[in-house]
């Protein structure tokens, strides 16, 4: 039976988090604070650690009228969504793409198991490199495209709005601006569409009598792109921002509310076929079900194509690696 989404009935909502590490447990905690689900299940190879986290979270769950427990893949059945955060993390100086081989091998183990027990669920991928692994999760699950969502540049878009909000002295929620493409080094800010108070940035600056400072704005985009490197250099990981972003992706799924978010989905972008990257999408209980059209400038279109090509190059390097699970052989590009 597919999950029944009903915003007034959190009782029926189960969310599974695969990977009870830093991102996974912070996401579970953010879910509790948001009261989005009544049943939160943690799955991890390190059962002992997951058990400890579940025990600790259960005491917070007391206040949210929810339960947090350790489970196994059969507990994915009837989950509204399964969030995948399992995998190795960047070390200082590593790019997200450096993680690909290890985390792709892990996905070959995890995703078919989730799909087997929860054929109607929605996969939300956070593990890096998130675009490459969103593509892998689609292939390994055999799910329709709208039910495999990468957190993608939802994180970068949040950071970008934070930077622009600080620059212009306005609440980041009142800044409309998006980061597109890879959740990684080839991402691009859609400057031509950025607006405050319904005005493009140049018009806003003119109306508000402030300088349109191109160098300062480029600094906002650079700090957005480099934020994770900076945080990892200082504290070894990122967890709070991404956990809140994951909950903001789960919200429209659980409440069926047609939010527009920049998330990663498999499609054709900038003339590059069969690649996953982030563009604005509409999300509801069906998943990331509809692209939102954008009119990008010529140079932005070129940058989007370059971003798609760089992700595609990594995908191609993974092609034909066999996937072995319980005597079944899958090929990444084979139909399941």
Residues annotated as part of the active site: 183
**Residue 26 contacts by C-beta under 8 Å, 6 or more apart in sequence?**
239, 240, 242, 243
Q: Which is nearer to ligand NAD, 139 or 157 (CB)?
A: 157
Q: Out of 3, 41, 124, 128, which residue is the one contacting ligand NAD (CB under 6 A)?
A: 128
Q: Toward ligand NAD, which CB reaches closer, 125 or 196?
A: 125
Residue 126 binds ligand NAD, judged by CB under 6 A: yes
Pick the closer one to ligand NAD by CB: 18 or 220. Answer: 18
- Contact between 196 and 175 under an 8 Å Cβ cutoff? The reply is yes
Binding of ligand NAD by 124 (CB under 6 A): no
DSSP string, 156-178: HHHHHHHHHHHHHTS-GGGEE--
Binding pattern for the stretch 290-319 against ligand NAD, x by CB under 6 A and - elsewhere: ------------------------------
CB 263 within 8 A of CB 152: yes
DSSP 3-state of 43: strand
Contact present, 172 and 165 (Cβ < 8 Å)? yes
* Beta carbons within 8 Å of 175's beta carbon, 6+ residues apart: 161, 164, 165, 168, 194, 195, 196
**Known binding site for NAD(+): residues?**
19-24, 44, 103
State the residue number with the nearest CB to ligand NAD. Answer: 21
The least CB distance from residue 134 to ligand NAD, in Å, is 10
Angle between helices 22-34 and 240-255 (to 10 degrees): 50
Least Å distance, CB 12 to ligand NAD, is 26
Closer CB to ligand NAD, 151 or 224, in the complex = 151
**How many residues make up the chain in this entry?**
336
Q: Interface with ligand NAD by CB under 6 A: which range of 16-24, 197-205, 281-289, 323-331?
A: 16-24
> Nearer Cβ to ligand NAD, position 326 or 335?
326
Spatial distance between the Cα atoms of 143 and 317, rounded to a whole number of angstroms? 23
Asked whether 261 and 280 are in contact (CB, 8 A), the reply is yes
CB of 285: closest distance to ligand NAD in angstroms? 22
220-202-161-313 Cα dihedral, nearest 10 degrees: -70
Question: How many residues sit in the footprint of ligand NAD (CB under 6 A)?
Answer: 32
The answer to whether residue 187 forms part of the interface with ligand NAD (CB under 6 A) is no
Q: Does 89 bind ligand NAD (CB under 6 A)?
A: yes
Does position 181 interact with ligand NAD (CB under 6 A)? The reply is: no
Contacts to ligand NAD by CB under 6 A: 18-24, 43-46, 85-90, 99, 103, 106, 109-110, 126-128, 130, 151, 155, 183, 237-238, 242
């Amino acid at each position: 039976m597919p999950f029944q989404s009903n915003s007034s009935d959190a009782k029926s909502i189960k969310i599974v988090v695969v990977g009870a590490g830093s991102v996974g447990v912070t996401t579970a905690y953010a879910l509790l604070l948001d009261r989005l689900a009544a049943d939160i299940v943690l799955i991890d190879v390190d059962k002992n650690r997951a058990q400890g986290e579940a025990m600790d979270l259960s005491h917070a769950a007391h206040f949210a009228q929810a339960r947090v427990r350790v489970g196994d893949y059969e507990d994915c059945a009837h989950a509204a969504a399964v969030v995948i955060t399992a995998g190795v993390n960047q070390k200082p100086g590593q790019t997200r793409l450096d993680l690909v081989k290890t985390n792709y091998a892990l996905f070959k183990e995890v995703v078919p198991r989730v799909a087997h027990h929860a054929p109607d669920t929605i996969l939300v991928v956070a593990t890096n490199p998130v675009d490459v692994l969103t593509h892998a999760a689609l292939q390994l699950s055999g799910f329709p495209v709208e039910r495999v969502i990468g957190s993608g540049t939802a994180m970068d878009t949040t950071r970008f709005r934070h930077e622009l909000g600080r620059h212009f002295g306005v609440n980041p929620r009142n800044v409309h601006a998006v980061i597109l493409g890879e959740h990684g080094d080839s991402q691009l800010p859609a400057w031509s569409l950025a607006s405050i108070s319904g005005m493009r940035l140049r018009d806003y600056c003119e109306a508000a009598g402030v300088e349109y400072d191109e160098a300062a704005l480029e600094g906002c985009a650079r700090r957005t792109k480099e934020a994770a490197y900076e945080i990892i250099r200082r504290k070894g990981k990122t967890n709070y921002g991404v956990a809140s972003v994951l909950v903001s992706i789960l919200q429209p799924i659980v409440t069926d509310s047609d939010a527009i978010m920049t998330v990663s989905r498999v499609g054709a972008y900038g003339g590059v076929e069969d690649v996953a990257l982030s563009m604005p999408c509409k999300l509801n209980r069906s998943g990331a079900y509809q692209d939102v059209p954008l009119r990008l400038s010529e140079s932005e279109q070129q940058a989007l194509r370059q971003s798609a090509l760089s992700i595609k190059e990594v995908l191609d390097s993974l092609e034909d690696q066999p996937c072995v699970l319980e005597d079944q052989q899958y090929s990444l590009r084979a139909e399941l």
